Structure 1
């Protein structure tokens, strides 16, 4: 059977997501004709199976062979780096995406960086990154990733603040109370669990009543991005991770 780009990519995706990484790799190596989707599918497969280093290495090999990574490719690499705790590699890929290829990061790309910072215990830095994003990119998913990190490290103060933000956004999810409950448990604040349960039930009940009246407006993400002019660049060095103006390509100096 001839493995063209379309068939080969489909097989790589199927085998990788079914737990057969070796078969996905075999298909990829046998393909005589590849395209960007083929490379991206294989990178994603490595990421799914926790092979973060392989995912990053394959992206560089992809470039060496003359293929141009797109937004989805970089998202797959950043996701792999996040789950593998590869901070420096993730920042370099992000910088490469913006500076070399001129790609504008989407909320999903920032979500990977925020998730990575949370996994590394850099909660304040993750919060700072979220707060510097324009509203169109600062969605509930980013805040929820930070809330999950608060649970891991038992940061009650920040966890409560993030939960309040989600309430104000009117974008609550049942997992929010679970994450905050876990944060209390890790911090040894078991007495707060009861009051949290009552508060959450009241909030959800009010929200469902509001929906039943048909007064809730649908929330749709708008395409594009906001342009913000600032008179400074954000440059920090956090445990060797350089978070600078590259993270905010829509910003420009006056």
Structure 2
């Protein structure tokens, strides 16, 4: 009761006072600690005491404790070893949590080992493996494997794969997937999806195409995240026309954000527009930036 209400101090006192603790009480206590304080020293102590007394954590607790491990921590490896010894590596939620843990560590070898040994996979499994490939060119292959297996991608899937295409410069594949998302799967693009695509196109010097994508979607015209990506791409590739459009909208939305002024000044400086550069400097002085 105390653990569910968030009173961890009282819950610990009750647990300590119990003459005989069972697996249920330990699981409830550990789940409460993890839910309210993450992998705190208190939670770690309960975990070690639980194992020392021979109590078996359930799949929910195992999944939660794996998700809370720091990227560089060794305890996650200890938990994985415990999972293997007790034959729980095929539990779907546990396997998914292991994939996410190793993904945070950028340990693609262990990620693939866990994934390929899974007897069954759900949408969360595929989303986790695709996210793990965010810096790996096999990400598109993983997406196709997912679709071929009969699992329908969702908004999260496309957020992960489009972000990977942005990072890896996979423009053709990224645009094909963006089109599939809208036309085949009828998923409405979010700001996150569009920002990835604008960044991806901008890095490739396709600033006009990036602007066309945003101009077709009126809702994106007032999204600072998308506009910042567009302004940055315009500055890098000296696209004054689109850069000024993005900058004007950004300065209307965030008039005191000095970064927008600086990006605009760099664009003018790099293209020899020194008169415009001085105007922006004056605007900054007038605003006290």
TM-score over 0.5 for the pair: yes
1:14 Cα shift? 2.5
Q: State the 1:151 CA deviation.
A: 2.5
Q: 1:138 to 1:114 in 2, by over 3 A?
A: farther
Offset at 1:192? 6.2
TM-score normalised by structure 1 residue count: 0.69
Shift in Å, 1:172: 5.6
- Residue 30 in structure 1 maps to residue 114 in structure 2: no
Residue aligning to 1:229: none
CA contact (8 A) 1:106 1:137 kept: no
> Structure 1 residues 60 and 172 mapped into 2: Cα distance closer, same or farther (>3 Å)?
farther
Distance in 2, Cα, partners of 1:191 & 1:70: 48
Partner of 1:245: none
What is the match of residue 94 of structure 1? 178
Which residues of structure 2 form unaligned runs of 5+? 1-82
Q: Work out the CA distance in 2 between the residues paired with 1:114 and 1:7.
A: 36
For structure 1, which segment, 99-108 or 181-190, has the greater mean C-alpha deviation from structure 2 after superposition? Answer: 181-190
Report the Cα offset of residue 90 of structure 1: 1.5
User: Aligned partners of 2:150, 2:158: CA distance in 1, in Å?
Assistant: 16
Superposed displacement of residue 70, structure 1: 0.7
**Alignment of 1:68 onto 2:118:** no
Cα offset, 1:170, TM superposition: 3.4
User: Structure 1's 6 and 168: CA in aligned 2 closer, same or farther, altered over 3 A?
Assistant: same
Deviates more, 1:191-200 or 1:2-11: 191-200
Correspondence 1:74-113 to 2 at 5 A:
74-113=158-197
Shift of 1:61: 0.3
Question: Partners of 1:116 and 1:172 in 2: how far apart?
Answer: 27
CA–CA distance in structure 1, aligned partners of residues 255 and 225 of structure 2 = 10
Cα RMSD between the aligned structures? 2.6
Equivalence for 1:164: 248
Rounded to whole Å, the distance in 2 between the matches of 1:27 and 1:34 is 11
Q: 5+ residue gaps in structure 1?
A: 206-254
Hey, what does 1:14 align to over in structure 2? 101
Shift of 1:202: 3.8
**Structure 2 counterpart of 1:125:** 209
More relative contact order in 1 or in 2 (CA 8 Å, sep 6+)?
1
SS of the residue corresponding to residue 138 of structure 2 reads: helix
